[in-house]
Amino acid sequence: MTNPFFQPSTLPYELPPFADIRDEHYLPAFERGFEEQLAEVTNITRRRDMPTFDNTLVPLEQSGQTLMRVARVFYNKSSSDSNDFTNELEEQIAPRMAAHEDAIRLDSQLYWRIKTIHDQLDSLELDAEQRYLVERYFTEMTLAGAGLDDEQKEKLKDYNQKLSTLTTRFEKNLLADTNDLAVVIDDVAELDGLGAGEISAAAEAAKERGLDGKYLVTLVLPTGHPYLANLTNRDVRERIMAASRARGNRGGEHDNTKLVLEITKLRAERARLLGFDTHAGFVTADQTAKTPEAVAAMLGKLAPPAARNARAEQKDLEEIAGVAIEPWDWDFYTEKVRQKKFDVDTAAMRPYFEIERVMRDGVFFAANQLYGITFTERGDLVAYHPDARVFEVANEDGSPVGLYVCDLYTRDSKRGGAWMNELVGQNDLLDQPVVVVNNLNVPKPAAGEPTLLTYDEVNTFFHEFGHALHGLFARVTYPKFTGTSVFRDFVEFPSQVNEMWMLWPEVLANYAVHHETGEPMPQELVDKLEASRQFNEGFQTSEYLAAALLDQAWHSITADDSVSDVAGFEAAALAAVGLDNPAVPTRYSSTYFAHTFAGGYDAGYYSYIWSEVLDADTVEWFKENGGLTRSNGDRFRSKLLGVGGKMDALDAYRDFRGRDAVIEPLLKRRGLE
């Protein structure tokens, strides 16, 4: 049997041949991939001539192609369409992948070769991208522990393998518990306040689990739930909130409390081995923030005014509710106050947000107006799931950009949240094109019924598509710099900027039409929404900052600290920063905080608001320079999105903006002046 991972795909843009891929192909491909890349690295380190860029960095960048092909496809499948097979294989592969990565980045001979080149940088004739490639490898290998002695390296490898296993288990526990805790509703009357599409989606979700005649409210990744804004039945709202907050902390086989303690302890011990006091110190050392103190200083400025604003908002809610506000009440009464104060009803927008029009006439249209790109659906190309659709992206002159795969709907096999990832990463060295994927988690109604998005779901779509554009537009020479391979506290910046086009007048007018009548969304609705822009920002900022500061707290413990009570630690961490308002729970509690315990944002969840400083400053630039124009789009594409990771992120920003970002636009946006 020919394994489809053993050679590059012959499909357009090297799209993986999903129709040919079977479960039995993955493990042999991983094993061959491990073996091949280690042999390729050995060929580099056994050379007898002195290290040069061409005999060390180039073959290193060319190595590991089989492993890259299988890993990208498998990890995409395990997050978007998992099953028992992927769950078992991922737990099996995780420690082996960690060991493989350590075998390369801790290789003393490879490190010597790269250090030798790095020491001679000023005397070598390298272009800017080549020079930055040397700097990145040297920095990353140094921080990873390549300079440790053999005994220390063995201890480090043990930490890394254990952590890879524990974080994988955390994610699998969370998916299983999220599915188990979905709320079953017996009587449709209990769903009063939801639209027909939402009720249909709940009925379909129940039917898929063999619960005919019932309704199933599946949980989303954050603590809150979109339905809480509209459900009139307070008991049902409380049930949904209780289920959401119970994930991973109710005992049993899917409990994550012990994993949280083990993961944070191991990360702290590993940080000490690597020469850092804390894991936060280790992580931020190679980000734009540089130190946890810089992160704390920024978050510390924002937390007090955010908490103050949230308390003021709470008083408004309690006046109209007539009762003390509980977490499950906040969204519901927020809509009531929004209507009373600003005459805004976000639910009234849903009929204007039909998913196909949002995608084609909103998300794609904005990209066309800015960058001149077009999207053609390729029904002849098979994706990894029937719900995933493939689009070919082309420049204005018809030249190819890449493939965009869009997977919109939620399912039990898909993890929560929304994200973007690569299936093929563009680079000139290997002459590879680009294929990116966006995943959302929109409830799917019954066949024939329209999918109407909430305001937040539309915003999320524009956000994730910003990541996709970053991945599609990057043009680099070396695989290491492909797509969104930038500092973690910079990666959210392009996606946050793309959110601005959701309500941009030309864009909104093009997609926001009533799905039944074809009438455009009344301008009055938009004007009122704009007028209420800062409304509820105290809550939104507080619940986000609570999670960001909780992440920092967990990763500010030292190897000598002893923590045994997850709930107690969390409560103390939030109280210490004044974000312990019972009515405003943290966006993610520890046992379902996938970003920090399974998603690669450990000690880095601050990245969203850190990037938002750049985002808000950039939005001001667009407004000052004419907004949605090709010249503005071309500048943003060439100086930021197209750069990928081939230069320092803040240098790229300065090249685009002409200066460093300032924080005032962010403070104004969030009402924190």
**pLDDT band at residue 200 using 50, 70 and 90 as cut-offs:** very high
380 has a pLDDT exceeding 80:
yes
**The pLDDT of residue 611 is above 80:** yes
Q: Is the pLDDT of residue 264 over 90?
A: yes
CB atoms closer than 10 angstroms to residue 430: 16
Cβ burial, residue 149 (10 Å; 0-12/13-18/19+): exposed
- Can you give the pLDDT at residue 283? 98
The answer to whether residues 510 and 453 touch, using CB atoms and an 8 Å cutoff, is no
On the question of pLDDT at 554 being above 90, the answer is yes
- In this structure, the strands spanning 215-217 and 183-185 are antiparallel
Task: Please give the DSSP secondary-structure letter assigned to residue 127.
Answer: -
What mean pLDDT do residues 518-523 have?
A: 94
Short-list 453, 275, 446, CA closest to 363: 453
What are the beta bridge partners of residue 390? Answer: 405
At 673, the pLDDT band (50, 70, 90 cuts) reads confident
Confidence (pLDDT) at 1:
60
Residue 170 binned pLDDT confidence (cut-offs 50, 70, 90): very high
% residues pLDDT > 90 (the chain):
97
3-state SS assignment for residue 129: helix
Per-residue confidence band for 344, with pLDDT thresholds at 50, 70 and 90: confident
Q: How far apart are CA 516 and CA 519, in angstroms?
A: 8
Q: What is the dihedral of CA 463, 465, 468, 473, to 10 degrees?
A: -100
Cα–Cα distances in Å, from 414 out to 27, 543, 656?
21, 25, 37
453 neighbors 409 (Cβ within 8 angstroms): no
Q: Report the mean per-residue pLDDT for the chain.
A: 97
Per-residue b or e along 477-500, where b marks 16 or more CB atoms closer than 10 Å to that residue's CB: bbbbbbbbbbbbbbbbbbbbbbbb
Backbone angles phi, psi at 370, to 5 degrees: -80, -45
- Return the HEC string of 593-612: CHHHHCCCCCCCCCHHHHHH
Tell me the C-alpha distance between 74 and 69, whole Å. Answer: 9
- For residues 629, 635, 641 and 643, what is the CA-based torsion angle, rounded to 10 degrees? 170
pLDDT of residue 181: 98
Could you say which of 61, 464, 492, 612 is catalytic? Answer: 464
**Cα 359 from Cα 362, distance rounded (Å):** 6
Residue 347 above 90 pLDDT? no
Checking if the pLDDT of 494 tops 70, the result is: yes
Give the pLDDT confidence of 126-145 residue by residue, as tens digits. 999 999 999 999 999 999 99
Q: How far is CA 56 from CA 33, 65, 109, 114, 460, in A?
A: 20, 17, 11, 7, 42
The pLDDT of residue 346 is: 86
Task: Name the token pair of 560.
Answer: 């000598």
**Can you spell out the DSSP letters for 179-203?**
HHTPEEES-GGGGTTS-HHHHHHHH
Per DSSP, the three-state class of 79 is: helix
CA distance 336 to 351: 19
> What does the alpha-carbon distance between residue 290 and residue 296 come to, in Å, rounded to a whole number?
12
Contact indicator for 197, 444 with CB cutoff of 8 Å = no
Distance CA 536, CA 330 (A): 10
Residues of the chain with pLDDT > 70: what percent?
100
The position carrying tokens 């979700």 is 205
Give the whole-angstrom CA distance, residue 279 versus residue 262: 13
Containing 634, the helix (H) or strand (E) segment is: helix 630-639
Which residues, in sequence order, are CB contacts of 523 under 8 Å at separation 6+?
none
- Which domains occur in the chain, in start order? 12-147 (1.20.1050.40), 181-246 (no CATH), 350-531 (1.10.1370.40)
- Closest by Cα among 234, 200, 232 to 217: 200
Q: Is the pLDDT assigned to residue 643 strictly greater than 90? A: yes
Q: How far is CA 422 from CA 341, 484, 598, 642, in A?
A: 44, 9, 18, 15
Q: State the number of CA atoms in the 13 A half-sphere of 227 facing the CB.
A: 32
pLDDT, mean of residues 280-299: 97
Residue 70 has pLDDT above 70, yes or no: yes
> Helix, strand or coil for residue 409?
strand
Strands (E), 93-247: 183-185, 215-217
Catalytic (active site) residue 464: yes
Using DSSP, state whether 326 is helix, strand or coil.
coil
Residues in the chain: 673
Split at pLDDT 50, 70, 90, the class of 435 is very high
